[in-house]
Chains A and B, each alone.
Chain A
Amino acid sequence: MGIYEISLATLVGINIILALGLNMISGFCGQISLGHAAFYGIGAYTAAFMAKAGAPFPAAVLAGMVLAGLVGLAVGLTSLRVRHDFLAITTMGVGFLFLGVVRQQEILGGELGVSGIPSPGLEKTGYMVLVLILAAFFTAFSLWIKRSWMGFAFEAVADDEDTARVLTVDVAACKLTAFAMGTAMAGVAGGLYASFARFIMPDDFGFITSITVLSMVAVGGIGSVFGVIISTVILTLMPEFFRFISDYKLLLYGALLFGVMRFAPEGLAGFTRAVRKAGIRSAGKKEAAG
């Protein structure tokens, strides 16, 4: 593997952690968030400043995770007040609020961002392996949550909050847990990104990033762990495949988002499910005929 492939693989790993975090909130628990990039940013900025202050790499990433999770918990509190589309816009507002604060504070680097973030002390291949191991860990974690009792409760909240409440599911606790876990994962991704890029600026964590992460989740099939991973890999690598037509790559990206929602609204996961079902049906027909 060359340097180029190694950094691509690292980026894929970081995006998987980021997208699985949003999948926890929007996929499992049904709370649409349009501000996920803010928590990615909080993780990245925290880790960057910790590392610059001389903290060892694991401590810096951990601090980013904790702070992002705490802010996420606070934002989760808003989800107890507002629902559905109101929540989507509130979380979008949180994203802009984060950007506004970072941009105006000289102490946080302002428009120019933070540069000279120390290296994590691993060479490129080692760092890629570390990121991919963490991505695998969070994949396993997501699958475990999904199959646990809590995942079941999340699904009930996503389906119908009021019915879930009647069935004695603690809706508030579910939402807060989902927000705290999902945003903490975004914080980890941010910390890993800061040490990987060694230079961060406010625009890396803007609305477009939030939308990109949401599309990774939606294109994969909201709530499906493997669907989200596959679509994250595709959407992260796609701009690289299309480099020969780089002028049109965002146009294609927009068209892809629209196309998937228009023709396969359940994403890749829904599409494969439909194909499998069709296969079983035709096999059944053959048996009946034979």
Chain B
Amino acid sequence: MLFFELFVQGLIHGSMYAMIAVGLTLVYGLLRILHVAHAGLFALGGYLGLLITNATGSLALAMITSALIVGLGGMLVYRLCYQPILDRPPYVPLIASIGVFIAMEEVFRLVFGPYGLTYNHPHLQSQVTLLGLNLRGAEIGMVITAMVLLGGLSYLAQNTRIGIAWRATVDDPEIAESFGIDAVKVRYLNFFIGSGLAAVGGIFISLLSNLVEPTMGGVPAYKALAIIVLGGLGNVKGTLVASLALGVVEAFGTIYIGSYLDRDAIAFAFLIAVLMIRPQGLFTGR
């Protein structure tokens, strides 16, 4: 029973990682940038979601609004932060991105205070029993939302004109442009979708811990970086598998080897072990 419970907990965490990591891997696939500021957008999503939920009482409204606003925020980050330095060596956008992330964390701290905010609607923390497990409503909601959003994204990428243009640009930007695809528009779309997903992930993690705080983006974001590397950098399918795998490894690891390593260290030990065996990540290609 414990085995099953740990497995389910792992998948729940994994689906949260997936929502953050997909945005990162999309950015990497298109621009070859490790987009650390994604973590700031994720925290911004958490803050907006909490503020709107507390003000209006509607979680659905909060999710849609904050996904839209954070999506626009992502486009702004691309325009101001990455576009001017795309042709530089990779550490330049990486450090610029870390700078933006630190500044964003500080803005949250200065505007909303250092101690964090909580939801004032207790029913959001309700529990349900499913398949013999006590799960929180928010956990089930998160898994379903992740499946719907990521399924929708995959439909968009496979079956629509926009999706085809997007995949073509990821494959080969120059040839895609010669076929009349506007690569800049594709990038904006990419940042919009990736950041919107991160915002939804941010709202769910804040529901699970009933807390938003300035530094909430840090650890999930570092793990998301590990995940996209595990998944083969830029490979969306690999990222999804790696997210779930990492969630499960962490859930078991904290129980069985938790006294030697903490949760974050387990995640990175797993990452390093996999990379030593498969230096290109679990999946290759894009």
Residues of A within 8 A of B (CB): 26, 32, 78, 81-86, 88-90, 92-94, 96-97, 99-101, 103-105, 207, 211, 214-215, 218, 222, 247-248, 250-251, 253-259, 261-262, 265
Contact = CB atoms under 8 A, between A and B. Distances in A.
Nearest to A207: B222
Given A81-B279, A251-B107, A262 B81 contact: yes
A99 B132 CA distance: 37
Interface string B96-119: 101111111111001000000000
B272 A261 contact: no
Contact of A261 (B85, B103, B259): B85
Interface in B258-286: 258-262, 264-269, 271-272, 275-276, 279-281
Given A32-B90, A85-B28, 20 more contacts: A88-B34, A89-B34, A89-B225, A89-B229, A92-B226, A92-B268, A96-B264, A96-B265, A103-B262, A104-B261, A214-B91, A218-B95, A250-B102, A253-B99, A254-B99, A254-B103, A254-B104, A261-B85, A261-B96, A262-B96
Contacts of B267: 96
8 contacts: A81-B276, A92-B225, A97-B269, A253-B102, A254-B100, A254-B102, A255-B103, A258-B103
A104 B258 CA distance: 8
A257 B40 CA distance: 16
B260 to A, nearest CB: 6
Nearest to A249: B106
B92 interface: yes
A100 B261 contact: yes
Contacts of B107: 251
Contact of B85 (A78, A251, A256, A262): A262
Closest 9 CB pairs of A and B: A100-B265, A257-B99, A254-B103, A254-B102, A258-B99, A93-B268, A261-B96, A251-B106, A96-B268
A258 B222 contact: no
B34 A93 contact: no
Interface in B206-229: 218, 222, 225-226, 229
Contacts of B106: 248, 250-251, 254
Contacts of A105: 260
A104 B261 CA distance: 6
B94 interface: yes
Interface in B30-70: 32, 34
A251 B111 CA distance: 12
Contacts of A265: 85, 88, 92
B233 interface: yes
B84 interface: yes
A78 B102 contact: no
Contacts of A251: 102-103, 106-107, 110
B93 interface: yes
A262 B98 contact: no
A188 to B, nearest CB: 25
Contacts of A103: 262
A222 B91 contact: yes
A214 B102 contact: no
Nearest to A218: B95
Contact of A78 (B104, B259, B262, B272): B272
Contacts of B99: 215, 253-259, 261
B123 to A, nearest CB: 35
A254 B267 CA distance: 27
Contact of A97 (B93, B272, B280): B272
B264 A86 contact: no
Interface in B141-174: none
Nearest to A35: B268
A261 B229 CA distance: 24
B149 to A, nearest CB: 25
B96 A85 contact: no
Among B229, B233, B271, residue most surrounded by chain A Cβ atoms (within 10 Å): B229
Contacts of A94: 268, 272
B81 A84 contact: no
A251 B102 CA distance: 7
A83 B233 CA distance: 12
A254 B36 CA distance: 13
Given A32-B91, A100-B262, A257-B96, A248 B110 contact: yes
A93 B272 contact: yes
A21 B168 CA distance: 42
Given A78-B276, A97-B268, A251-B107, A257 B95 contact: yes
A169 B88 CA distance: 26
A254 B101 contact: yes
B192 to A, nearest CB: 21
A215 B85 CA distance: 17
B272 to A, nearest CB: 5
B98 A257 contact: yes
